[in-house]
């Protein structure tokens, strides 16, 4: 009997969780296009818009949204001249804005943030920085719940809502003020805030398909700037995010901490050169520069992890190289050229002149290739 009761309780919990999850996904599917449109019009991240909508409306089921179409819990304020409803919130019988449609609510919400001095600092953040926006909203006083930003971030990460921000960034007309269709499928023109333009730097999250490169290992890859979203790259090149992570020996998605090569295909089992002299990089960084699968790089060098190596360590890039036959003249070092690195930067690093580097390596121009080995005497 006890087992039966436990089973009934577990089934009830499971059914409730599944129903809640279904409600959330239904809300997302219904309103994601509105969120993307508002991001393109005003610059509020689509991921934040949807996450707030889910929270404030209890996935579209709250009393407030059902009787007022108010998806974001915006109260009347002194400048509101539209319809109103009264609802118990922080205090009993508070005045909330009432809208004729969800479309009106979404537009008023994004204008509310965009036109308020209280929230203007949020628009200095990168549009893909959903964590910064979540904490910024709480700090600016949007909600009193101390866990408000954590709830938003959890929704964004659980339901992959940042994909809608990326979708908005990846489509033409970023933050445009063009036409859109309202709840009744009637085409209208978004004429509010006609001077809004794209936030500087936001475009770096969309990888230009023309920036494809072929590295010295003959693999398709893109040199992605710091703070580029891996999801953005996956969406742009139509690669499953899980596969993109696998190709690049990465465990989790997110924003890149630094500029690096991101491979669009599986890396090779060895490099085209025999070795690399470490400048203190991690094995993972070396594997990305040379297009070698991390497991093989570790195997060739009898190393167990991908952490940083000591500067001057000679790392084998191919199998069959006998260590006892390796020789490096004591009077010289070997430097492997990193992405976007030029002769001037290398000369400063070793306190030598550009002319000397060119002489030691018989260079006739300043052009360098990623991974190129330069002798530094």
Pick from 239, 266, 293: which residue ends a domain? 266
Is 248 found in the same domain as 309?
Answer: no
Let me know if residue 90 belongs to a domain: no
Q: Which of these, 301, 364, 373, lies nearest to 334 by C-alpha position?
A: 373
pLDDT of 236 > 60? The answer is: yes
Is 273 found in the same domain as 262?
Answer: no
Domain count for the chain: 4
Percent of the chain, pLDDT > 70?
77
Is 289 found in the same domain as 177?
Answer: no
CA-based max dimension of the chain: 88
Q: Which of these, 159, 170, 185, 142, lies nearest to 238 by C-alpha position?
A: 170
CATH number, position 367: 3.10.350.10
Percent of the chain, pLDDT > 90?
23
Q: Is 125 helix (H, G, I), strand (E, B) or coil?
A: coil
- The per-residue pLDDT for range 88-119, each reduced to its tens digit, is 876 787 899 999 999 999 999 999 998 888 99
341 or 262: which leads in pLDDT: 262
Let me know if residue 81 belongs to a domain: no
Is 178 found in the same domain as 37?
Answer: yes
pLDDT confidence band for 198 (50 / 70 / 90): very low
Is 259 found in the same domain as 114?
Answer: no
pLDDT confidence band for 306 (50 / 70 / 90): low
Structure confidence at residue 134 (pLDDT) = 93
* Structure-block tokens of residue 21: 């999850």
Is 178 found in the same domain as 256?
Answer: no
Residues contacting residue 324 through CB under 8 Å, at least 6 positions apart: none
Is 279 found in the same domain as 240?
Answer: no
Let me know if residue 155 belongs to a domain: yes
196 or 319: which leads in pLDDT: 319
pLDDT of 214 > 60? The answer is: no
Please state, as a whole number, how many other Cβ atoms lie within 10 Å of the Cβ of residue 219: 19
pLDDT of 245 > 50? The answer is: yes
pLDDT confidence band for 242 (50 / 70 / 90): confident
CA separation (Å) from 204 to 13, 197, 238? 43, 15, 18
Sole residue written with tokens 């580029």: 228
Let me know if residue 1 belongs to a domain: no
pTM exceeds 0.85 for this model: no
Its domain, for residue 321, covers 268-327
* Structure-block tokens of residue 309: 């190596």
Let me know if residue 22 belongs to a domain: yes
Sole residue written with tokens 């920036």: 211
10 or 344: which leads in pLDDT: 344
Pick from 151, 174, 199: which residue ends a domain? 199
Is 321 found in the same domain as 215?
Answer: no
Is 149 found in the same domain as 48?
Answer: yes
Let me know if residue 89 belongs to a domain: no
User: What whole-number distance in Å separates Cα of residue 145 and Cα of residue 136?
Assistant: 13
pLDDT of 212 > 80? The answer is: no
Q: Please, what sign has the CA dihedral across residues 124, 151, 249, 213?
A: negative
Is 192 found in the same domain as 215?
Answer: no
- The per-residue pLDDT for range 251-262, each reduced to its tens digit, is 888 888 888 888
Contact 357, 343 (CB under 8 A): yes
Is 342 found in the same domain as 243?
Answer: no
Is 262 found in the same domain as 272?
Answer: no
User: What whole-number distance in Å separates Cα of residue 332 and Cα of residue 124?
Assistant: 48
Let me know if residue 369 belongs to a domain: yes
Per-residue pLDDT, averaged over 53-58, amounts to 92
Pick from 199, 217, 252: which residue ends a domain? 199
Let me know if residue 276 belongs to a domain: yes
Structure confidence at residue 350 (pLDDT) = 80
pLDDT confidence band for 65 (50 / 70 / 90): very high
pLDDT of 75 > 80? The answer is: yes
CATH number, position 214: 3.10.350
């Amino acid at each position: 009997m006890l087992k039966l009761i436990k089973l009934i309780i577990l089934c009830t919990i499971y059914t409730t969780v599944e129903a809640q999850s279904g409600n959330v996904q239904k809300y997302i599917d219904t309103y994601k296009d509105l969120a993307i449109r508002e991001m393109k019009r005003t610059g509020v991240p689509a991921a934040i818009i949807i996450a707030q909508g889910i929270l404030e409306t209890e996935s579209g089921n709250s009393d407030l949204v059902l009787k007022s179409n108010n998806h974001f819990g915006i109260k009347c304020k002194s400048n509101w001249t539209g319809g109103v409803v009264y609802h118990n919130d922080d205090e009993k019988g508070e005045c909330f804005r009432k809208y004729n449609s969800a479309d009106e609510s979404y537009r008023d919400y994004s204008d509310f943030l965009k036109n308020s001095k209280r929230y203007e600092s949020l628009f200095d953040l990168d549009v893909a920085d959903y964590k910064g926006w979540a904490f910024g909203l709480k700090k600016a006083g949007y909600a009193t719940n101390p866990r408000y930003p954590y709830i938003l971030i959890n929704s964004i990460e659980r339901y992959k809502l940042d994909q809608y921000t990326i979708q908005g960034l990846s489509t033409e007309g970023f933050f445009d003020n063009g036409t859109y269709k309202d709840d009744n499928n009637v085409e209208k023109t978004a004429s509010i805030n006609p001077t809004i333009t794209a936030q500087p730097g936001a475009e770096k999250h969309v990888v230009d398909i023309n920036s494809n490169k072929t590295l010295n290992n003959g693999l398709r890859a893109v040199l992605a700037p710091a703070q580029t979203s891996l999801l953005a790259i996956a969406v742009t090149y139509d690669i499953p995010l899980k596969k993109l992570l696998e190709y690049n020996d990465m465990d989790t998605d997110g924003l890149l901490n630094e500029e690096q090569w991101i491979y669009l295909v599986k890396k090779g089992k060895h490099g085209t050169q025999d070795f690399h002299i470490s400048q203190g990089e991690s094995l993972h960084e070396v594997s990305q520069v040379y297009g070698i699968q991390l497991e093989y790089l570790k195997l060739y060098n009898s190393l167990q992890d991908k952490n940083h190596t000591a500067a001057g360590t000679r790392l084998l890039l191919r199998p069959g190289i006998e260590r006892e036959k390796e020789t490096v003249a004591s009077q010289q070092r070997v430097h492997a050229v990193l992405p976007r690195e030029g002769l001037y930067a290398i000369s400063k690093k070793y306190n030598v002149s550009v002319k000397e580097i060119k002489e030691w390596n018989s260079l006739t121009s300043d052009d360098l290739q990623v991974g190129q080995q330069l002798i530094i005497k």
